[in-house]
Amino acid sequence: MLVPKKYFHDRLIILLLAIDLFLTTVGVLLVLFRLDFNRSTGYIIEFRANYGVGEYKTGGAISLSSFIFFMLMNLTVGFLLSARTFRLRRHIALTCLGLTGMLALLAIVVSNALLVLR
């Protein structure tokens, strides 16, 4: 895939890419530092409030490490969509990068909430 030459010359694109990369790095490091791969179970991976009095589902560290995979895929897909749509419209590319950052921030909040319940 060829990235347009003007894509990396746009200051707002570079700023949003830097913010997305920073949020993804912070999210991945927060999850990695709080996980203990020696524990087989004990992490709360789901909370369903509509099943009764706080229905929790427990799992291992591998289940919570899917947040790392999600954040990395979010960054990759956001960048690819932004680079491909930059030729069509600049504001669509900016929207893709903005939503990528918001989704990374939401993933950080959710993973932190689940890791605090441990």
Regions of the chain with pLDDT less than 50: none
Amino acid making up residue 37: F
Sorted by where each begins, the domain ranges of the chain are 7-116
* Whole-prediction pTM: 0.85
Amino acid making up residue 83: A
Range list of H helices, 1-118: 11-34, 61-64, 66-85, 90-116
Q: Which residues contact 97 (CB under 8 A, 6 or more apart)?
A: 13, 16, 17, 20, 78, 79, 82
d(CA 70, CA 105): 12
Q: What is the pLDDT of residues 60-75, one digit of tens each?
A: 788 888 999 999 999 9
